[in-house]
């Protein structure tokens, strides 16, 4: 990618990377290389699962194969130049709200990432069957500020759905949590 200098109306110059590189007469944009990386990731994801038993490879194939197909379609669109690189709106940079206070944005980001890390730690310590309803309940009660009754009801429904789908219907065994391994349960 090439560098260029832009001169905005205030007279200051800014250094920007150009949108596309030309290789062999074909223009490649940054989006193409990102999409190629995604396709390669999912191809490796599917390839790694080929030697697994059917029940284990069901998830990687159910997610990976459609993602490879969608990625290849996007790669072809990027090569053909179907999307308009000069459009006023960026395809991925949409916003539901615009926060002008950086402290509020930072606080929300830390809260979201902390909850994701806490969920992963909960899965590791307690296992999926206990961590999922616990996380649903904590989110409903403390983040969404729902009442005890509604939080308990929706948590029970989430657990019932989780149990019915993964345990009864798909027969997917989940490993027990690390705490139960430590105490010999």
Same domain, yes or no: 116 and 174: yes
Domains held by the chain: number: 2
Asked whether the predicted pLDDT for residue 1 surpasses 50, the reply is no
If one compares 68 and 185, the residue with the highest pLDDT of the two is: 68
Q: Please check whether residue 165 lies inside any domain of the structure.
A: yes
If one compares 149 and 4, the residue with the highest pLDDT of the two is: 149
pLDDT value, residue 178 = 94
Asked whether the predicted pLDDT for residue 169 surpasses 70, the reply is yes
**96-136 pLDDT, tens digit each:** 566 678 888 888 899 999 999 999 999 999 999 999 999 99
Quote the pTM value.
0.53
Whole-angstrom distance, CA of residue 146 vs CA of residue 165: 26
Whole-angstrom distance, CA of residue 133 vs CA of residue 139: 10
Whole-angstrom distance, CA of residue 155 vs CA of residue 140: 8
Same domain, yes or no: 110 and 173: yes
Same domain, yes or no: 107 and 75: no
For 79-106, what is the mean pLDDT?
Answer: 65
Same domain, yes or no: 17 and 62: yes
Nearest to 151 by CA among 141, 161, 164, 162: 141
pLDDT value, residue 97 = 62
Beta strand segments in 12-163, E = 14-17, 20-23, 26-29
**12-44 pLDDT, tens digit each:** 544 444 455 556 556 667 888 899 999 999 999
Least confident of 122-126, 147-151, 181-185: 181-185
Q: Please check whether residue 146 lies inside any domain of the structure.
A: yes
pLDDT value, residue 32 = 85
pLDDT value, residue 170 = 84
């Amino acid at each position: 990618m090439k560098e260029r200098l832009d001169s905005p109306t205030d007279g200051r110059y800014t250094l920007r990377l150009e949108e596309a590189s030309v290789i062999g007469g074909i223009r490649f944009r940054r989006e193409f290389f990102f999409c190629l990386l995604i396709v390669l990731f999912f191809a490796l994801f599917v390839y790694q699962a080929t030697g697994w038993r059917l029940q284990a490879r069901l998830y990687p194939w159910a997610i990976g194969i459609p993602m490879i197909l969608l990625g290849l379609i996007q790669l072809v669109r990027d090569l053909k130049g179907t999307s308009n690189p000069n459009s006023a709106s960026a395809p991925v940079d949409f916003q539901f709200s615009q926060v002008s206070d950086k402290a509020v944005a930072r606080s929300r980001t830390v809260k979201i990432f902390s909850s994701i890390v806490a969920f992963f730690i909960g899965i590791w310590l307690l296992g999926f069957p206990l961590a999922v309803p616990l996380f649903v309940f904590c989110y409903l009660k403390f983040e969404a500020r729902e009442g005890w009754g509604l939080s308990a009801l929706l948590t029970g429904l989430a657990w019932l759905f989780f149990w019915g789908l993964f345990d009864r219907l798909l027969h997917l065994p989940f490993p027990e949590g690390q705490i139960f391994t430590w105490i010999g349960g």
